[in-house]
Amino acid sequence: MPPARVISIILLQGAATCNTSLGRPGFPCTPGRGPALPFCQLSKPLDELNNTHYYRCLRKLVVMKEIKSSTKQRAKNRGIELYRFEDIEQLGSEKNNPEMPASYMDLCTVCYTSGTTGNPKGVMLTHQNVMAGVCAVLLQLGDYKPTPKDTMISFLPLAHMLERCCQNAMYMVGGSVGFFRGDIKGLSADMKALKPTVMPAVPRLLNRIYDQVRSELENSFLKRIFFNMGLRYKESDIKRSIIRKNTIWDSLVFKNIQEDMGGRLRLMIVGSAPLSGKVLTFARCVLGCLIVEGYGQTECAAPITLSVQGDPIPEHVGPPVACCCIKLMDVPEMEYYTSNKQGEVCVKGTNVFAGYYKNLEKTAEVIDEQGWHHTGDIGMWLPNGTLKIIDRKKHIFKLSQGEYIVPEKIENIYIKSQYIYQVFVYGESLKSCIIAIVVPDVDVIKCWALENNIPGTLSILCVNSEVKNVILNDMLIRGKDAGLKSFEQIKDIYLHPDPFSVKNGLLTPASKIKRPQLKTYFKPQLEDLYQNLP
């Protein structure tokens, strides 16, 4: 197979996947998002990667498990040869194929984005991009960087560049990588067996640990008091940049939690979505290991910033890593200005991708003439030189579990309700659900109220629970009919009698809602909605 071709890998996570992608560095590989993915989400990448109609012209197929004779016959009838992965490994060991070392500017991988805003885009990363990201992370970790004695647990998908960056770092230093069984419910058992020292993770995992521990403490007043005493003691250590798990409180209070994670964890790298300061400080205390939080994108081979050891302050993503530089650019339509140390995060460096695969138009949209990659994220420089992500330029945000929300798409569905005149969908990256501000259609609501013997002006009707329920239920029905996922459905609404307008500053002259202004205007109501969620 010529090196110019790209190998597509659609496998469950494991050693075979890594062997395939790393075995021949001259061949670019594109690990997929797992065989559980619907074919409709695989067809776009396969089509772009010169595998057009691969199911019709496929001639050789390598599978991981034992092949049934009936399966072999069905494949033979279609002109397809089936091979076991073990057979291919044996064949490779017997053939003396010449080495084809890759150049630093050669394509290393095509990593596809999640496709939240449309079709997935193939991010072309060169060997230079990948190695720049890995080396920058190792440098940023300082004394805590992995060594040959370390073992990493791999449970994030390989289509996640954070996972691949961490794996490559382990291979580079001569460390070990162990793979979980493929079922997140068995992760704790896998960690107890492997006893890892290094772990890349996402906020959802730490949120789950936090919720489980707090839930267990609710049943015992004495345990809760004792636990909080230990937490306060460890917090004082954290504030002094002391990281340890050998205190009396670790032995008496936190040992079981640490043992559930294998008992040897010393480094955790968290990325993918924002993590609340409360949960981060809690995790640092109970796990007794260094937990750093980073910010990055697939387009930057994972890392853009990473917090450093000795920094106890949460709710930021650290300073830039060594392979890139960052500048903020004004976003006047959202009232973010660099004079206030706020703006769109733009990145330039050796980790910035070469472009989107076979998509020059999309590439030109995010990389300007000076080579700056426009991330679409709004950042703010803090006094200590670290970056804090505060918004999205394109009004796309992540929930705490890492799911993307496109509010405009959801609003376009809900606005079709006969009861709604205007709607503003809102969410926060530290919350697990979304809420909405709704301006009812005055004529429809008054007519409905009259039919149901509910008197009052629109202002009075907006605080009526029956009115709220009929609007909320209609929105949920329309959302379900339109195919919204559960996390895309609102959990509560606030009814507002006065329309958004140009006059009150909540609408543009083009009749588009102004999200930053709406967020500020309805801040008390939004906070109340989240606080009072069931």
Lowest-confidence pick of 9-18, 147-156, 198-207: 9-18
Residue (of 254, 217, 214) closest to 235 by Cα position: 254
- Does the pTM surpass 0.85? The reply is no
List the beta strands (DSSP E) in 175-275.
Answer: 176-179, 198-201, 267-270
pLDDT of residue 512: 79
In this predicted model, which residue has the larger pLDDT, 326 or 27? 326
Question: Is pLDDT at 71 greater than 90 in this prediction?
Answer: no
pLDDT value for 337: 95
Would the pLDDT of 35 be above 50? Answer: no
Write out pLDDT tens, residues 269-287.
999 878 889 999 999 999 9
Instruction: Let me know: does 114 contact 404? Beta carbons within 8 Å.
Output: yes
What is the pLDDT averaged over residues 206-219?
86
Homologous superfamily of 397-531 = ANL, C-terminal domain (3.30.300.30)
Q: What is the pLDDT of residue 449?
A: 94
Residue 316 has pLDDT above 80, yes or no: yes
Q: Is the pLDDT of residue 227 over 90?
A: yes
Q: Average model confidence (pLDDT) for the chain?
A: 87
Collapse the DSSP code of 221 into the 3-class scheme (helix H, G, I; strand E, B; otherwise coil) and give the result.
Answer: helix
Task: Assign residue 174 a region (left: φ > 0; alpha: ψ between -120 and 50; beta: otherwise).
Answer: left
CA distance 377 to 327: 12
Q: What is the pLDDT of residue 369?
A: 94
Tens of pLDDT, residue by residue over 385-421, are: 999 998 888 778 888 888 888 898 899 899 989 899 9
Residues 6+ positions from 371 with CB-CB distance below 8 Å:
348, 352
Helix (H) and strand (E) counts for the chain?
20, 22
Tell me which of 97 and 103 has the higher pLDDT.
103
Is 176 or 19 the better-scoring residue by pLDDT? Answer: 176
Q: Is the pLDDT of residue 42 over 60?
A: no
Highest mean pLDDT among 19-33, 53-67, 463-477: 463-477
pLDDT digits (tens, 9 = 90+) for 449-508: 999 999 999 999 999 999 999 999 999 999 999 999 999 999 999 999 999 988 888 987
Q: Over 90: is that where the pLDDT of 177 sits?
A: yes
User: What pLDDT does residue 1 have?
Assistant: 46
Confidence label for 61 from pLDDT (cuts 50, 70 and 90): confident
Say yes or no to pLDDT of 216 above 80. Answer: yes
Among residues 13, 399, 407, the alpha carbon closest in space to that of 203 is found at 399
Looking at residue 408, what is its pLDDT? 87
Q: How many other C-beta atoms lie within 10 A of the C-beta of residue 190?
A: 20
Angle between helices 203-217 and 277-287 (to 10 degrees): 80
231-267 pLDDT, tens digit per residue, is: 999 999 999 999 999 999 999 999 999 999 999 999 9
CB 210 within 8 A of CB 283: yes
Q: Say which residues have a Cβ less than 8 Å from residue 65's Cβ, sequence separation at least 6.
A: none
User: Which residue would you say has higher pLDDT here, 363 or 156?
Assistant: 363
Structure tokens at 461: 């009707």
Q: How far apart are CA 136 and CA 348, in angstroms?
A: 14
The pLDDT, as a whole number, for residue 52 is 42
Quote the pLDDT of residue 51.
47
Return the sign of the alpha-carbon dihedral for residues 452, 456, 457, 461: negative
What pLDDT digit, counting tens, does each position of 185-206 carry? 899 999 999 999 999 998 889 9
Closest by Cα among 30, 79, 85, 29 to 57? 79
% of the chain residues with pLDDT over 70: 87
Q: How many residues comprise the chain?
A: 534
Among 121-135, 209-223, 457-471, the least confident range: 209-223
Gap between the terminal Cα atoms of the chain: 58
Give CA 230 to chain center in angstroms. 32
* Residue, of 221 and 493, whose pLDDT is higher: 493
- Lowest mean pLDDT, pick from 33-47, 89-103, 147-161: 33-47
- What mean pLDDT is predicted for residues 101-129? 82
Residue 84 pLDDT:
81
What is the structure's pLDDT at 22?
62
Which among 258, 246, 247 is positioned nearest to 287, based on CA atoms? 258
d(CA 270, CA 267): 10
